[in-house]
Structure formats: structure tokens, C-alpha cells
Amino acid sequence: MDIESFHLQVVDIVEETADARSISFEVPADAPEKFVYKPGQFLTVAVPSDQTGIAARCYSLSSSPHDGGPLTVTVKRTADGYASNWICENLEVGDTLRALPPSGIFTPASLDADLLLFAGGSGVTPIMSITRTALTGSGKIVVFYANRDEKSVIFAEEFTRLAAENPDRLQVVHWLESVQGIPTPEQVKAFVAPYLTYDVFVCGPAPYMKMVTTVLRELEFPRERRHQEKFVSLGGNPFGDIEELAEAEREIADAESDEADESAAEPPGPAGPVKLEVELDGVDHTFDDWDPKVKLLEFLESKGVKAPYSCREGECSACAIRLVEGEVRMLHNDVLDDEDLADGIRLGCQSLPTTDNVRVTYS
């Protein structure tokens, strides 16, 4: 397994609010192509830890890949968040952080589409990246941004500036709990009503996202026009060396073997090699020798296909695929809900084939 990470130097730090900072990095001069990114994607960074060596965390990019500005993530402190507090308290200009290349699928397919963007609290980070970048397109953009109070609003001045510079393209609505209370499903439904043809992106606290997505389903927004950011704090170490990762894989395999002995509920895999067809970045790949015991991501890597990933543990959506034909089973899944699964979405880093032919797409 080739786990490629880079040391990024901090070139700027901006205090957005009392609890949030934007950290800008210099892209390595010898690997600029590794940090080409799409709006809405995230970085996985390694925060030093006395207990575990590092704490791996995913932080969304708030910068735009189209305006020439530096690669920037925005981090908000959480009460019990070791990594976010360490970054806000210790990181200084000139320091370096180890990071994986940008990843994630929470990104518009077209910058010319009309977009309805729901943000809650620090969930505004990828929403800001999408807003900044989509303004280079031709569609209309509506942002609904919910916060506890006025002091909690991240990017307040930036949203004001962008809206003033693009009055016919961008509308930003701030919803403050201290003034209007927590938004209700009925209020959100009334707000969404004029924008039923828009593509929707939702990011924020879990209850907020669940409420908004429930409203969207009730309004019969098709699944392909509803996007919800999904990743959690990583429990493992995607930065470990090959031997460390190999040992982790062996431990997982042993645990899975024990589970298989205890339960016959899991469907058996194919007896022999599986035919796999993959569409990635507009290129089709076909293989006839996918070993049913090898995870999809690992198999593609062995074939030289640079499939997206971040955590490799089923704890983020960076490696998400959509089934077109056949079926796979996932060994672990912390992010996909029942609706995602019903729509054929799976995690490539955790998928093993259960049919003789499998066709998937990363689009």
C-alpha cells in the first residue's frame, strides 16, 4: 500500500471568530499536482499527540481552487476536541502539518448549476469553498446559514462582500438561534419552496443535517440533487508506515474471521476471480481478476488506478462509489445511511464483491 503524505508549511492564520481559525498552507513545490482540489473537498491532517503519536482529522477546505489563493482549511474548536483545540492554540505561521492530498465527494458536478447551500455552524467551511468557486460559473447561489448567535458567524464579512459584489447571483440568509430560535422543518420547507430545481448541499451538526435532508425528501428532491457532507473523527492512523498498516490489516482480518465463525449471516463471496468495471474521472477500467478477499480500493491500487480515499477505515466518504451492476458487502461503515445504501452508494475502501460481476462509478 502506498500511503503518500506531505508536510505542508503554514503561511497564514486568520482568526475568523473567537473559536475558529483559517489555516493557509504552501503547496509543496515538488508536488503541486497532488493538491489540485475541487470545492467542498477536505484535507486529512496529522495532529501531534502525546498519547497516540498523531491524531488524524479531516478538515474541510474553505478556499477556492479557482481564485489563486492558498490552500486553506477552517477549524473551529469543539469542547472536547483534542485536535481542533491543539490547532487553534499551538499552530503558528512557519510550522508544518503532515497531510494527505485533498479528497471528498461533497462537490458540485457543474459550477453553472443553481445551488441551494445549507450550512450550520462550522459546517459553513465547505459551503464557503463551494460559494467562492461557483461564483466563477453562471448559476444562482442561495446560502442558508444557521448559527447560535451573531458572534458565532464564521466568514460574516466575506459573505457580505461576496453578496455585494454579486447581487444578481448570490443571496445569503443568516438564521440566528438567539433571534429566530432553532429553524423548524416547516420554516425550512417554506424557505426551500422557491428553489425546487436547485442542487442542494447540506453541512452542519447531525440534527441540523437530518432535519434539512428530511425536508428535502418530503419535497421530493431527487437523490442526485441532494448532497450531504459525511465524515467523522478518524479512529485510526492513515499516516502509518506500510508495516504498521499491514499489521492493522492483519488484526482486522483476524477479527473478521472470528466474526465469520460466530455468524453465518454474511453472504458468501464468489468462488473465483470477479470481473470488475470501474468508471473514474471519465475513464473506464475493466479487470477480470478481482480477488474476492481483497477490498476494492486495494485492488485498484494494485492495478495502478489512483482511486480516491482518505481514512481507509469506513469513517469518511472520500472513497464512495455507486453500484451500477452487481453487489458488494462492506466490512465497516460509519457514514452511509439507509438511503445512501438503497441508492447503491458504497465505500470502496471497505467493499468486497458478493457477485461474479461488479460495475461501479466514482462520478
Per residue in 16-40, pLDDT (tens digit) is 999 999 999 999 999 999 999 999 9
- pLDDT tens, position by position, 181-190: 999 999 999 9
Which pLDDT value is given to residue 339?
A: 81
Tell me the C-alpha distance between 253 and 197, whole Å.
46
- Please say if the pLDDT value at position 237 is more than 70: no
Which pLDDT value is given to residue 331?
A: 94
pLDDT-based confidence at residue 158 (cuts at 50, 70, 90): very high
Question: For residues 316 and 234, is the Cβ–Cβ distance under 8 A?
Answer: yes
Most confident range (mean pLDDT) of 99-108, 191-200, 312-321 is: 191-200
Which pLDDT value is given to residue 52?
A: 64
Which pLDDT value is given to residue 318?
A: 80
- Give me the domains of the chain, ranges plus CATH numbers: 6-99 (2.40.30.10), 115-228 (3.40.50.80), 267-361 (3.10.20.30)
Please tell me which residue, 269 or 182, carries the higher pLDDT value: 182
Please tell me which residue, 237 or 302, carries the higher pLDDT value: 302
**Mean pLDDT over the full length of the chain:** 88
Average pLDDT over residues 140-150: 97
- pLDDT tens, position by position, 118-140: 999 999 999 999 999 999 999 99
pLDDT-based confidence at residue 316 (cuts at 50, 70, 90): confident
pLDDT-based confidence at residue 263 (cuts at 50, 70, 90): very low
pLDDT-based confidence at residue 232 (cuts at 50, 70, 90): low
Average pLDDT over residues 291-301: 95
pLDDT-based confidence at residue 259 (cuts at 50, 70, 90): very low
Handedness of CA 344, 348, 353, 354 (dihedral sign): negative
- Please say if the pLDDT value at position 348 is more than 70: yes
Q: Which three cell numbers stand for residue 204?
A: 452542519
